Structure 1
Amino acid sequence: MAYDAVLVMSFGGPEGPDDVMPFLENVVRGRGVPRERLLAVAEHYLHFGGVSPINQQCRDLIDALREDFAANGVDLPIYWGNRNWHPMMADTFAQMRADGIQNALGFATSAYGGYSSCRQYWEDIAKATEAVGEGAPRVHKLRQFWDHPGFVAPHADALRDALATLDPARRDTTRIVFTAHSIPTSMAATAGPSGGRYEAQLHETATLVADGLDLPWDLVWQSRSGPPQVPWLEPDVNDHLTALAEKGVTDVVVSPIGFVSDHLEVVWDLDNEAKETAASLGLGYARAGTPGHDPRYVAMVRELVLERLASSDEGAPFTVPQPVCVSAPAQRLGNLPVWDYCAVDCCRPPARPSSR
C-alpha cells in the first residue's frame, strides 16, 4: 500500500466568541446535554476571549512536522482536519481529493485507547468519506503512542521542571498527581480486543514518566461532563487535592499526562480550578507542561509514519483494516499490547441515558 499524505486529526476548538456555542453544540450533538450546561462551559472559553488554544497548537505542530519531514527525507504533504470545528474533517477530505490524494495516514492528537480518544476518529474518517463521496481519500489511523519515548520524555522533563519550582525542604511531603480526562465507567470497561485499555495505558505512562523520582504518585481525573447520575472515573483532581491536604501533603505537582498539549481543559481545569483549590488548602502547587511541539514529540510522529510505511505492502490493495496487534513496534517503552487497528466491536460508546 503506497501512502501519499499525512492527516493530522484533532478535536478542534473555537477561535472567537461567536464560535463558542456553535462549537459546543457540535461537541454534544445528540447527547441531550441541557443548554444551561453548555452556557456554563461556554464561560470557560469566554474567559480566554472565546479562543481555545488547541487550533494554534495544531498549527504549531504541523509547522514543526513539515520542517522535520523535510529535514529527514519524508516526502509527504501534511493536512489537518478537526472533529468539532474548522477545519472540519469533511472539508479537509474534499481538499485532499482536489489535490489528488488517494491514500493517507491519519495521526490523531490523542495517545490512548478508548472511544473518544481512538475509535471515534475512525468514525470521523468514515463520516468524512461518506460526505465527500466518490474519490474521497482513504485514510488509515496510526497506532496509539502512550508509551512512545517521544511522548513520555517531554512529559517526564516537564514534570521534573515543575517539581524544581516547589520548596525542596518539603520534598518528603510532596506528591505527584497525574491527571487525564475522565470518562464514563461504562466506557472505561468496554470489552473487545483493544477496549478497556484507557486506564491501564495511563497507569503505564504514569509509571514511565515518574521513573527515577522517589516520590509517591496518583492517577486522578478531570474535566468530567454529562448527567450527574452517570458514573464517571473518580476521584476528581479537586477532590483528590482536598484528600491529600487532609493527609498532611504540603505540595503537589500536577502532570496532565492524558493530554498532548496545553489546550483549554488543561489551562482552565488545572491552571484555574485546581490551582485555586490548592491555594484554598494551603498546598504548594506546580503544573507540569505537555509535549506540544517538543522536537521529540514531533520526531515521534515521523517515526510512527515510517513504522507504518515499513510494514505496508506496496502492492496490496487499500482495504478496510482488520484488527492487528503490533508485535514489534519500532519505538516503545511499555509492556501492554499495542494495537494497530481496532476491531469493529471495540471501544463502543456507552448508551446515552436521558439527562432529564
Structure 2
Amino acid sequence: MAYGSPTRMEDVPAYLQGIYEGKPVPEYATRENTEKYAMVGGISPSNAIVDSLVRKISAKLSQGGEIDVILGNKHWSPWLDQSISSLSISNTDKIVAFPLFPFPSGGVKGSYLDPLEKALSRRNLNPEIRFINGIPSDVLADIWAPLVRKNYWKGDAVLFDAHSLPLFREKEDDYNAAFMSASRSTAEEAGLQEYFVGYQSRGKYGNRWLEPSIYEVLENIMAKGYRSLLAVPIGFLYEHLEILYDLDLEFGGKVKEMGMDYHRTGLPDDGDSLVDSVCRLVMNEVS
C-alpha cells in the first residue's frame, strides 16, 4: 500500500482534489505541487520505484507458495478499491496489509486500514487482516547503516530526517519513538560518534506538529562548527518529491546558503535489503 502520485502534470489538480476529499484546494497547495512536479518533468520517481518493488516482492514471495501481491494506492491509480476488485480473494482467508512507511503511526494506519475494510465490506468479504504498522528499528538499521557508511564524509554532521506529522488527531508517540530508536540504532551500526534528528515537511494547517524542525536543528549544527551535512531520510523508504523538493532543494539550499556543504544518502528504494526485509515481515504474518 502506498500514497500514490499522478503520472502527468495535467493530473495534478485531480490528484489534489482527491487528497482534499472534494474540499477547495488551497492556492498554495496547487502552486507548490505544480512547482514540485514541474521540477521532475511532471512525473514523480515514486511510481516506477514502487512498481518495481512490488514486482520484486511478488517474485520472491511466490517462490515459497501461492501468495498474491498487489499494490493499492490511497490517492492515485491503482486505487485500493480497484486493487481489491482485481484480486481473486473469494477463497482468501487472510490479507497482510503493508503500507510502505517505516514507522508506526495511528494516523497512517487509520488512513489505510479504514478504506481497506470498507472495500472488503462492499464486496461482502471478511478475511482476517494482519496490518504491518512500521518496520522494526533493528531491521531499519540493517538497511540504512550501509547507506550512511557509503555516503559519510569525514567531518559530516549526520542528520536523520523524517516527515513531520500533525498532532491534532493522534499524539504519534509511537512514530516519534520509532524514529528516535531507528536513528540511534543506525548511528551505532554505522559507527557514528554524534548525530542529529529532525522533522521535515511540516504542513501549513494545524498548530502542533512533531518537532524539532530540521531548520531548528540546522542552527545547532552550525553552532557546533560543522561545515558539511549528510542528510539521512530514514523516515522514507523510497525516493519521491518530498525528498527531492522539500529536503534537497529547499533545505539543502538553506544549508548551502549558510556556507555549508550538503549531500545525502540514497534511499532503500527497490533494493535487495528492503525487498528481503518486507518479505520476511510478511511471511511472519502469513505463517
Question: Is TM more than 0.5 here?
Answer: yes
Alpha-carbon contact 2:158-2:229 (below 8 Å) kept: yes
Measured after TM superposition, the shift of residue 30 of structure 1 is 6.3
* Structure with greater proportional helix content: 2
Alpha-carbon contact 2:12-2:33 (below 8 Å) kept: no
Q: Is structure 2 residue 231 aligned with structure 1 residue 222?
A: no
Q: Is structure 2 residue 15 aligned with structure 1 residue 23?
A: yes
Measured after TM superposition, the shift of residue 17 of structure 1 is 0.6
| Other-structure match for 1:76 | 67
Gaps in structure 1 of 5+ consecutive residues: 1-8, 191-195, 311-356
Q: In structure 2, what residue type is equivalent to 1:269?
A: D
| Other-structure match for 2:184 | 207
Percent of pairs with identical residues: 23
Alpha-carbon contact 2:17-2:25 (below 8 Å) kept: no
- 1:298 partner SS: helix
Alpha-carbon contact 1:96-1:137 (below 8 Å) kept: no
- 2:188 partner SS: coil
2:159 pairs, out of 171, 177, 182, with 177
1:127 pairs, out of 118, 126, 142, with 118
Give the 3 Å change call, closer, same or farther, for CA 301–24 of structure 1 in structure 2.
same
Give the 3 Å change call, closer, same or farther, for CA 176–301 of structure 1 in structure 2.
same
Alpha-carbon contact 1:93-1:137 (below 8 Å) kept: no
Alpha-carbon contact 1:184-1:233 (below 8 Å) kept: yes
Q: Find the aligned partners of 2:34 and 2:119 in 1 and give their Cα distance.
A: 27
For 1:26-76, what per-residue CA distance to the aligned partner results, in whole angstroms no more than 9, with x for missing partners? 223267652333322331122212212221111110121123224x42421
Q: In structure 1, what residue type is equivalent to 2:144?
A: H
| Other-structure match for 2:33 | 41
Measured after TM superposition, the shift of residue 221 of structure 1 is 0.6
Q: In structure 2, what residue type is equivalent to 1:198?
A: Y
- 1:68 partner SS: helix
Alpha-carbon contact 2:107-2:169 (below 8 Å) kept: no
Alpha-carbon contact 1:94-1:136 (below 8 Å) kept: no
| Other-structure match for 1:95 | 86
Aligned length: 286
Q: Is structure 2 residue 263 aligned with structure 1 residue 273?
A: no
Gaps in structure 2 of 5+ consecutive residues: none
For 1:144-199, what per-residue CA distance to the aligned partner results, in whole angstroms no more than 9, with x for missing partners? 213252x3222111111111xx3x3xx2xx32111111112345525xxxxx2111
Measured after TM superposition, the shift of residue 93 of structure 1 is 0.8
Q: Is structure 2 residue 97 aligned with structure 1 residue 106?
A: yes
Alpha-carbon contact 1:175-1:249 (below 8 Å) kept: yes
Measured after TM superposition, the shift of residue 135 of structure 1 is 4.3
Q: Find the aligned partners of 1:188 and 1:205 in 2 and give their Cα distance.
A: 21
Measured after TM superposition, the shift of residue 243 of structure 1 is 3.9
Larger relative contact order (Cα-Cα within 8 Å, sequence gap ≥ 6): 1
Q: Find the aligned partners of 2:186 and 2:264 in 1 and give their Cα distance.
A: 14
TM-score, length basis structure 1? 0.73
Q: In structure 2, what residue type is equivalent to 1:123?
A: D
Q: Is structure 2 residue 145 aligned with structure 1 residue 156?
A: yes
Q: Find the aligned partners of 1:259 and 1:154 in 2 and give their Cα distance.
A: 12
Q: Give the CA RMSD over aligned residues.
A: 2.3
Q: Find the aligned partners of 2:223 and 2:131 in 1 and give their Cα distance.
A: 45
Q: Find the aligned partners of 1:183 and 1:139 in 2 and give their Cα distance.
A: 25
